[in-house]
Structure formats: structure tokens, C-alpha cells
Amino acid sequence: MDEKELADLLKYTSPKQLYIVTWNNILKLLFCPFRVAVLKDVGTLKKGQLVWVDEVKITQELKTVYIIKGAAYYYHHFDIIVDNE
């Protein structure tokens, strides 16, 4: 994906929200900040720690990145904590 295609895609996204599909196939819109559990030690974060995602970004390769305490981490290091509403 080139920079123009990425810019076109980003027109329809927001760094403050994320759509997810829950375990029971319900589409939910999460707004930042939302909580995640750290799956393995990464950066200064420790396995099992609960942290807040401040923003959601994507790389040029379309990989999801969470901004947590000013640092960027790939999404696969975390489990999203969803309230049962």
C-alpha cells in the first residue's frame, strides 16, 4: 500500500475508536481509552498487567498499533477487556 492509498483509508478511521467482534459475534465500538491485558512482557509492560489504550493507529503495512503511555505496541501483545453490557 502506498502513502496515497493509506491516506485515503485513514480518512474513514479515527485514532480514538476501534470496532471489535466479541466472542459471541457481537460487533462493538470501543472508544479510547479502553483496557487491555498484557499477554507477554513487552517494552516496559509486564505480562498480566492491565493498561489503558490511549489511541489506535495503523502502520503502512496495515498492522494495528496501540498507543499506551506514549509508546507504540503491536495489538497482538494484548487481550482487549470487554465489559459484559
State the average pLDDT over residues 23-33. Answer: 93
Domain that holds residue 20: 3-80
Model-level pTM?
0.85
3-state secondary structure string across 8-68:
HHHCCCCCCEEEEECCCCCEEEEECCEEEEECCCECCECCCCEEEECEEEECCCCCEEEEE
Average pLDDT of 35-49?
97
Question: What pLDDT is stored for residue 41 in this prediction?
Answer: 98
For residue 49, is it within any domain? yes
pLDDT of residue 33: 97
Q: Domain tally for the chain?
A: 1
Domain assignment of residue 85, yes or no: no
Is 9 a residue whose pLDDT tops 80? no
Q: What is the pLDDT of residue 71?
A: 97
